[in-house]
Amino acid sequence: MIDVQMAENITTDESSLGYKLARYWLPVVGMLALMYWFSTDALSGENTRGIIEAVLSWLGYHPGNRTLFKINYFVRKCAHFTEYAVLAALLFRAFRADSAYRWRLKWALYSLAVIVGWAVLDEWHQSFTHTRGGSIWDSLLDSSGGLFSLLIITVFSTKRQTGPSS
């Protein structure tokens, strides 16, 4: 009798609004907070260059300033693309929540709208920092990372499950 009541309580708890908020939206809020910190002076180009230089030095590679600049630029742009791809996946997961459906266009569109909005706000925020600057091109790169992730989700979510051909 007690086991049945516990199972009913667990089911009820898992379907509660608080549970859904914590499970699906807390990771989104955490990622947004992390991205906000990433766009401060703490991770300016000069600071990431120093980190990259230290890692490469530890690996026994000592590039010149020009090469180090190119590596830093590439790593930073890849990081922008990747962090927005992760955010898009988290947003899509949050909008989907416990739905029995795997994919809905509105979830992808809502996710993309948040991605584009956050990308623009992120660059605007960077324009107020001492060592960073805002760029519409970075907003486009960020948004393309989110769009890429949503396209991958779409392909895998809408792919038909076909059995082996006879």
Residue pLDDT, tens place only, 34-49: 999 988 877 777 778 8
Report if pTM > 0.75. yes
Asked if the model's pLDDT at residue 12 lies above 60, the reply is no
Token pair, residue 97, equals 């929540």
CB atoms within 10 A of CB 89: 18
- Range name among 65-69, 91-95, 109-113 with the lowest pLDDT average: 65-69
Q: Are 41 and 129 in contact (CB under 8 A)?
A: yes
